[in-house]
Amino acid sequence: MKKEISRKFCVAPMMGYTTPYARKLYRILSNNSFLFSEMIATKSLIYSKSRENIIDNDFNNPVALQVGGSEIEDLRKASKIAIDYNYDEINLNVGCPSKAVQKGSFGACLMRDKILVRNCMEALQNDKIEASLKCRLGLGKELNYEFFEEFIDEISKTGIKFIYVHARNAILSGISPQGNRTIPPLSYDFVKKIKNKFPNITFILNGGIKNLDEAESLLKEFDGVMLGRLIKNNPFILKEVDKKIFKEKNKLIDESIINNYFEYIKPKLGLESIFRLLSPLLSIFFSVPHSKTYRSKINDYMKDQKINLIEDLLIKFVSEKNLS
Ligand SMILES: Cc1cc2nc3c(=O)[nH]c(=O)nc-3n(C[C@H](O)[C@H](O)[C@H](O)COP(=O)(O)O)c2cc1C
C-alpha cells in the first residue's frame, strides 16, 4: 500500500552528498521534509557488494531512492530492491548531464527518447511503491515549451503522479555538470504552464531556490519545491522547515542534534570512511564565515580518527555560530 505523503518540501538528490548519513542528519533536523538518495546506477544497485552502505535507509522516511538506468529488466529489479529497503518512492533520473552518465545511456540524454522513458517508468511501477521522474525542461541551448509538453504528455500515459522538474534545459556537450546547474536559464513559467495542462500530476519545482522565504512564497503557486545546494551547504536550514513550511510548533533543537548524529555514525567508524560519515556536517564550514580554525582542527582529528573530540568541537562550533 502506498502512503499519503507530503512532497511540499523536498531535499534534492545529490551525488556524493545525500548519502544515508546525510539523510540521517536531515531527518534529525526536519520531520517532514521529503528526502532523496543520491542517484544510484541500477547496475550498482543490483550487483554492488556494498549495497548496504549505499542505500541503507534507517527509517528516515519519507524518502525516495533515485536510480539511473534505462534497461527495463534492471529497473524492475531496482523497484523491488527499493521496496525491500523500505523506500516510499523510486525515482528515475532524467536530468543528469554528465558524460559518464550519457555513456551509460541514462540521465538527461533520455529526454531525447520519450517512448523509452515511458517504458522505463512502466518498468518501475509497482503497487507497493510510488514511481516518479526527475527531469529537465529539455535539451540544448533553446528553451522549447512544445518539446517539454510532448515529453510530459507521453510520460503521463503511465499514470505517473509525481514529476520533479529542474526548471532549466540540460546542455549535453561543452559545459560541465556544475555549469549545467547555473548556465542554462531557469523557466519557472514552463512548470506553471505544464501543471495547468496536467492537473492530475503533482509537479515539484526545482532549481535556483535561494532561501526558505522564496520557497514559502513559491508554494503559493506550486505543489511543492525541491532544494539542493542550499541544504547541502547548510543543512541547519532544515531546522526551520517544519515550522515555516509545515506550520509545526518550534521544535527544541540544541546540541542534541550533533549528539544524535554521532550516536548514529560512531558504530560505523571502521566500516565506512570517516570523511563520508562526517561530510554532511563538514559542508557547513563552506557556508559559515570565519570557520578556518575549526576546519583545520577537525582535519587533524579526522586523520587520527578522534571522533569524540570532533563531536565536542562541532557542538562548540554550532553553538558559537548560533546554528542551533
Ligand atoms: C553536488 C551535486 C550532486 C547532484 N547529484 C544529483 C543526482 O544524483 N541526481 C539528480 O537528479 N540531481 C543531482 N543534482 C542536481 C540537484 O538534484 C538539483 O536538481 C540541482 O542542484 C538544482 O537545485 P538547486 O538549485 O536547489 O541546487 C546534483 C546537484 C549537486 C549540487
Take atom 2 of ligand 1 and give the residue whose Cα is closest. 14
H-type alpha helices, the chain: 20-29, 42-47, 51-55, 72-84, 99-103, 114-124, 145-156, 188-197, 212-218, 229-233, 241-244, 256-265, 274-282, 292-303, 307-320
Q: Check if 93 has its Cβ closer than 6 Å to any atom of ligand 1.
A: yes
Q: For residue 29, give the DSSP letter.
A: H
Angle of helix 145-156 relative to helix 188-197, nearest 10 degrees, comes to: 40
The reported pLDDT for the residue numbered 324 is 62
pLDDT at 188 over 70: yes
Q: Which of 55, 229, 231, 241 to mutate to test the pocket of ligand 1 (most atoms within 8 A of CB)?
A: 229
pLDDT tens digits along 280-324? 998 888 778 888 888 899 999 999 999 999 999 999 988 888 776
Among 294, 293, 298, 296, CA closest to 310: 298
The reported pLDDT for the residue numbered 286 is 76
Give the model's confidence band at 252: pLDDT under 50 very low, under 70 low, under 90 confident, else very high: low
**Mean pLDDT to the nearest integer, 143-164:** 98
Helix (H) or strand (E) holding 40: strand 40-41
Q: Check if 181 has its Cβ closer than 6 Å to any atom of ligand 1.
A: yes
pLDDT tens digits along 2-61? 778 999 999 999 999 999 999 999 999 999 999 999 999 999 999 999 888 899 998 899
Q: Check if 268 has its Cβ closer than 6 Å to any atom of ligand 1.
A: no
Q: For the chain, which domains are there? A: 9-244 (3.20.20.70), 256-320 (no CATH)
Q: Is 276 helix (H, G, I), strand (E, B) or coil?
A: helix
Q: Give the distance (Å) from ligand 1 centre to CA of residue 228.
A: 6
Cβ-in-10-Å burial (0-12, 13-18, 19+) of 324 comes to middle
Q: Are 150 and 198 in contact (CB under 8 A)?
A: no
